[in-house]
Amino acid sequence: MSGGVDSSVAAALLKEEGHDVIGITMQIWPGGKESSCCSLSAVEDARRVANKLGIPYYVLNFKKIFKKKVIDDFISEYNRGRTPNPCVKCNQHIKFDALLKKAKGLEADFLATGHYAKIEKIAGRYILKKGIDPKKDQSYFLHSLDQEALSRTIFPLGGLTKQEVRRIAKKFKLNVADKEESQEICFVEGNFGELFHPKEGDIIDLSGKVIGKHKGYQLYTIGQRKGLGLSRKNPAYVLKIDPKTNTITVGDRGDVYGDDLIAGDLNWISADRIDAPTKVKAKIRYNSPESDAEILPLSKEKIRVMFKKPQFAITPGQSVVFYDGDTVVGGGIIEQ
């Protein structure tokens, strides 16, 4: 229970169905912004909901493992010139591993969250599917869940829209019915650059010519146009980030497109593995549209993904997730 409307309604629906529900908030970041999922106000919102529903409520400390698996990884990835997705790592290591183990210790049969996604069991295998609300579907962030996690997880909101969830919250008279969502990274407070030690370096064009200065390569991402401070005939876009030389390469918009990628850290959901060329729909970031693609296995740990149409700003560190209709085939982390 994050203190938001989604997890609150998930708890309310399960209680209404007759389940024995325990509310848990994960304390993951010291202090926490007032807008974050572990701030004092968020904890109090979750506690009020639990009291309203008449369910036990606990705040559990996950700060140490969150720092190691999410924050330290986040900083390390940016220092490597990559752009990670901390929500994917949090789901993989915190919610559906550490928290799931804690749930088992509390003798809970299942872990339930407010994610907009669905789980179905087909022919003995647990399948992850999109939530029905296309604007809220969060299956992309859940591609790392394995069969064990999927077998012990419930997503009560998968068949609902956000509007329906808010209406249900009002029906239950929950104090968070109209609470706004946080769109920011929960552990980033104030200046994003304070997480790193950024140093000024050169901005170069495709010929290697120095055309400007950057404020620290960790503050930029592939495809970025704003904030470069360049005077140029055509808008400049970030094409490459090189930590070794502390340079950022820029070019025209057309230079940012690519038609293939290499991915690792793979997890397959609809099958044990993909060991033959497979046509799928692929997303290279949460907000990008699905695109026709083909998976080409390179080894057990690596795949090449070929796109039918070039993709804008394929970004190392981000997740690439594969779909067959509304079913999540699997996904991995973009390496190059």
Which positions are catalytic? Answer: 90, 186
DSSP 275-323: -S-EEEEEESSTTSPPEEEEEEE-SSS-EEEEEEEEEE---TTSEEEEE
Residue 240 tokens, joined: 């490459």
Q: How far, in Å, CA of 77 to CA of 72, rounded?
A: 9
| Sign (positive or negative) of CA dihedral 24, 26, 31, 36 | negative
Ranges assigned E (strand) in the chain? 23-27, 57-61, 111-112, 117-122, 125-130, 153-154, 201-204, 210-214, 237-242, 247-251, 257-268, 278-283, 291-297, 303-312, 319-324, 327-334
Closest by CA position to 293, among listed 309, 303, 304, 307: 307
| CA angle centred on 120, ends 273 and 153, rounded to 5° | 90
C-alpha 295/C-alpha 265 separation (Å) is 15
Contact 70, 90 (CB under 8 A): yes
Angle made by CA atoms 83, 191, 70, in degrees to the nearest 5 = 45
- In contact, 60 and 25? CB cutoff 8 Å: yes
